[in-house]
Structure 1
Amino acid sequence: MRILFMGTPDIAAHCLEALYGAGHTLCGVFTRQDKPVGRKQVLTAPPVKQVAMAHGTPVFQPVTLRDEAVQAQIRALEPEIIVVVAYGRILPPEVLAIPPRGCINLHVSLLPKYRGAAPVQWAVLNGDAETGVTIMKLDEGLDTGDILLVRPAPIGPEETSGELFDRITALGAETLLDALARFDELTPVPQDHAAATLAPPLRKEMAHFDFDADAAHLHNLVRGMNPWPVAFFEYGGKKIKVLASRVAEGSAQPGTILALKPFTVACASGALQLLQVVPEGGKPMEGSAWAAGRRFKAGDSL
């Protein structure tokens, strides 16, 4: 099929590479604008643009798809189908109507669960045991279109959002190729909108925690906020980020240090082992090393 691809971040770039590898014809690629990156704010092309340029495919970076001139560009490319992966814009009706075989989207959840921008992170934050990927037909809503193909994936009890995203990226590309190969065989299935849940973007302020919550909840927070924005508590007026944790047994006033190796802190229910932390202004280290540097002892309180 003659494909117009729309996407922006790494997962979209991985899927685009997979489309090239499978021999599909890419008539064009739409992506977001270049952005300043890093401390020096170097203007950097999105991953999808970099892949498309390496393959010599025309790249378009419009500010909006509602512009009639942009819509004319899309019609001129004569796509049979539009494939969308984490593009970051909702396609207006005028664009949805252009390709004769419609528009499809890869979403990294088991729809209708976790519609929105951060489905992988919310699956981890909520302690789900399973997630997956969904190929759906696009309509005018936010991840509301009919489902074409679903592939589930387990979530490990210690797995972080970043680790899960790596696995889901590979699964998503495989599922997208499968959906295109069997496109005429797939039957669209309407979503159960009454069962829908949302996965809004994470915010930095969500990463702050103290120990008067259940240990399991805090463990999921640590996993879900890794690699961004990274869960943290405060000690001595400084942020202590937590990169890795584990739920443990124990009971005491929340915030009480129960053990130093591994560094274990009582929570409202159960206890949390702080396996790897990042002191403000410092580098990642074992939680027990940080505790030793503070000269903590069992019974102290954070």
Structure 2
Amino acid sequence: MKVIFMGTPDFAVNTLREIVKAGHEVVGVVTQPDKAKGRGGKLCFPEVKEAALELNLPVYQPVKVKDPEFIQKVKDLKPDVIVVAAFGQILPKDILDIPPYGCINVHASLLPKYRGAAPIQAAIINGEKETGVTIMHMDVGLDTGDMILQEKIQISDDETGGSLHDKLAVLGAKLLVKALEQIKEGTAIRVPQDDSQATYAKMLDKEMGNIDFTKPAVYIERLIRGLNPWPSAYTKLNGKTLKLWKAKVKEYSAGAKPGEVVEVNKDSIVVMTGKDALEILELQLEGKKRLSADEFLRGYKIEKGIVLG
């Protein structure tokens, strides 16, 4: 089939590669414009653009996909299907209506749960035991279209946003290729979503990582894992940002206030929360390297009774 692929970050790269590997003709790769990064403001390519150039595929980077010029370009390419994976812009109806087989999305959740921008992180933070990938037909709503295929994956107790992202990127790519074959053969079954079961995962921002120690330790531990590697969970220590990378829940009922350091051990720092305590095992002070608590405590003194936040 003639495919236009739309995607931007690393999550989408696997899918693009698998489409090419399966023998489909990718007539265009659409991704977000290059962005300035770092102190020098150097323009960097999106990961999908890098992969597309390596595969010798034509790349298009519209500022807005609803621009008439870009819509005409899509029409001129005459795609049989448009595949979307973490693209970053909402497609207007004018584009959704172009390909005869429609626009197909790779979504990293078990829809209708966790529609929206950050389903991977939300599943971990909310304590889900499983998640997965849904291949769906796109409509004008936000992840509301009919489902074609869905596959589950277990969430391990030490899962991070990064590790789950990588697993779902691989799973999503394989499932998408399977869905394209079914669409081509006319055997794909469309299953409407149950809107009454829908939940949403809003876009990530740095403020989400600001730890509220009045929350239970079990929730904070999941937040730390879910927001690893970005935007990361953090608090304040003596006015400096302190990122927490790894922790575990410790049963604790002492009468300390949330955020108060109740124990300083050789290889951990124990902080009181709204319920139980959080045993910090890996952390990073502003401007410093990421360290185990053992390494950190050798160079920085933290005393019992200090309050974080």
Superposition TM-score, scaled by structure 1 size: 0.95
Aligned partners of 2:270 and 2:43: how far apart in 1?
A: 43
Q: Name the structure 2 match of 1:74.
A: 74
> Is 2:20 the partner of 1:20?
yes
Deviations 1:21-46 (A, max 9, x none): 11111111111111112222211121
What amino acid maps onto 2:249 in structure 1? V
Does residue 197 (structure 1) correspond to residue 206 (structure 2)? The answer is: no
Secondary structure of 2:116's counterpart equals: coil
Matched, 1:273 2:279: yes
1:224 partner letter: G
* Equivalence for 1:263: 269
Alpha-carbon contact 2:106-2:133 (below 8 Å) kept = yes
Mapped contact 1:240–1:277 kept (Cα < 8 A): yes
Q: How far apart are residue 291 of structure 1 and its match? A: 3.7
Q: Which runs of 5+ in 2 are unaligned?
A: none
SS where residue 223 of structure 1 aligns? helix
Query: Runs (4+) of structure 1 moved beyond 3 Å?
Result: 291-297
- Conserved in 2, the CA contact under 8 Å of 1:248 and 1:273? yes
Deviation at 1:264, TM superposition (A): 2.1
Contact 2:134/2:148 (8 A) holds in 1? yes
SS at match of 1:182: helix
292 and 267 in structure 1: CA distance in 2 versus 1, 3 angstrom threshold:
farther
| CA shift for structure 1 position 13 | 1.6
Question: Aligned-pair distance for 1:289?
Answer: 3.4
| Deviation for aligned residue 1:259 | 4.5
Distance 1:262 1:53 in 2: 46
Does structure 2 retain, via aligned residues, the 8 Å contact 1:125–1:221?
yes
Task: Give the length in aligned residue pairs.
Answer: 301
Give 1:4 shift. Answer: 0.9
Q: CA deviation at 1:213?
A: 2.1
Is residue 2:226 matched to residue 1:224?
yes
- Tell me the C-alpha RMSD between the 2 structures: 1.5
| Residue deviations 1:194-245 (CA, integer Å, cap 9, x gap) | 1111111122122112433211011011111111111112121111110111
2:296 to 287, 290, 296: 290
Higher mean alpha-carbon deviation, 138-147 vs 205-214, is at 205-214
Following TM superposition, by how much is the alpha carbon of 1:251 offset from its aligned partner in structure 2, in angstroms?
Answer: 2.1
Could you give the per-residue CA deviations for residues 61-93 of structure 1, whole angstroms, max 9, x where no partner exists? 112222222222111111111111111111111
